[in-house]
Amino acid sequence: MANILVIDDESEVRYAIRAVLEDQGHAVSEAETGTAGLAAIDRARFDLVICDIIMPDKEGIETIVEIKQRLPKQKIVAISGGGRIKKEDYLAVAAAVGATYTVSKPFDADTLTDMVNTILKS
């Protein structure tokens, strides 16, 4: 199946996404910061990157911009539970800078599975 990178500073979120996607047969790598995610992208090829927006170190918008500069065709899902502004605003910015798909946290396993399958088929 697909090789997927999950970038999120919350270990519980990474674990939950990993569990669902590995159940579907995907290989999942994790990064807890944008900087670590970019380092992972330099080491390996991923069919899909799932990136949180609000993170310490290097936030998601900046991470998405840098991924798209390095790999313009990289498929990216931006996820956000919000922050100082509404999560929809963060997700709109993420889409504007190159995220393939955006989804608000929390989301369920079916939403995640459907989203990943749709993106990977496109």
If you average pLDDT over every residue of the chain, what do you get?
A: 92
Alpha helices in the chain, H assignment, sequence order: 11-23, 34-43, 60-70, 87-96, 109-121
3-state secondary structure of 79: strand
CATH of the domain at 99: 3.40.50.2300
pLDDT surpassing 90 at residue 18: yes
Q: What is the mean pLDDT of residues 67-84?
A: 88
Q: What is the pLDDT of residues 41-62, one digit of tens each?
A: 999 999 999 999 999 889 999 9
3-state secondary structure of 44: coil
Q: What is the mean pLDDT of residues 80-98?
A: 76
Q: How many domains does the chain have?
A: 1
By residue range, what is the domain housing residue 24?
Answer: 3-121
Q: Are 75 and 49 in contact (CB under 8 A)?
A: yes
The residue with tokens 């709109």 is: 92
